Amino acid sequence: MKIIISPAKSLDFETKANTKEYTQPRFLEHSEKLNKKLKTLSKKKLSDLMKISDDLGALNYERNQNWNPIFTPENAKQAAYSFTGEVFRGLDITSLENDKIPVLNDKLRILSGLYGILRPLDLIQPYRLEMGTKLKVGRADNLYKFWGNLLSDSLNEEMEEEELLINLASTEYFKAVPKKALNTSMITPVFKDLKNGQYKTIMTYAKKARGLMVRYIIDNNIETLDDLKGFNVEGYAYSESMSSENELFFTR
């Protein structure tokens, strides 16, 4: 079983990871091409391109200028310890048992606008580049075209024919790995909360639930669809009536 998730905009590069183990991103040459393009953009152009404040534009301008293609533990940090959004709060990697870290590194993949696809222990440097950004690089008008089939090919190379792919990524990021390009079965869990008599997707809760499910899979050595249906963290329960062949619904 492999799992894909989205990255987070919020980062923590001040707190040290509680592991010395690390790996290198697979597509650093591609990341360097993207960074070379980003380095040519002014603070104002970055703000306009990413639809962010002037302060964030200035911060990411500095990040782009300081980005170094040679990654070491001194200038970079493991990806799963760097992202701090709701998904990663749900995962809570800092409380994961040490013997589970290699399992997480084997199963989990983090999609990224700048790095393409990351393992949890892959080193990254601070950045902001959402997959939906319309950044023109060479002949590619946007990041989806820039990455092309590289990300789906990478997953196909890693996975056995009958292996399950659990899609816990957002729509924006999963568009970079189209289902038709995959050689394996894909399941998308959906999380809904009961509000005003109706089940609705509340994005903050749904994002955290994605991280909780990653943690559940790792903690419980989940390998089958039936085992995944047993997810029952923080009040969620599997809804057979709402689920379909490719989507598993969990409600609370």
Residue pair 139/77 in contact (Cβ under 8 Å)? The answer is no
Rounded Cα–Cα distance for residues 236 and 242 (Å): 14
Give the domain extent around 87: 2-251
Whole-structure pTM value: 0.96
Give, in order, the Cα–Cα distances in Å from 65 to each of 32, 186, 245: 12, 38, 46
- The chain-wide mean pLDDT, for the chain, equals 95
Sign of the C-alpha dihedral, residues 55, 13, 219, 130? Answer: positive
Question: What is the structure's pLDDT at 223?
Answer: 93
Which residues, given as ranges, of the chain have pLDDT below 70?
none
φ and ψ at 92, to 5 degrees?
50, 60
Question: What is the structure's pLDDT at 178?
Answer: 82
What burial class does residue 14 get, using C-beta atoms within 10 Å of its C-beta: 0-12 exposed, 13-18 middle, 19+ buried?
exposed
Q: What angle do CA 131, 135, 137 make, to 5 degrees?
A: 115
- Looking at the structure of the chain, the number of domains it has is 1
3 has which bridge partners?
108, 166
Question: What is the structure's pLDDT at 161?
Answer: 82
Question: What is the structure's pLDDT at 246?
Answer: 93
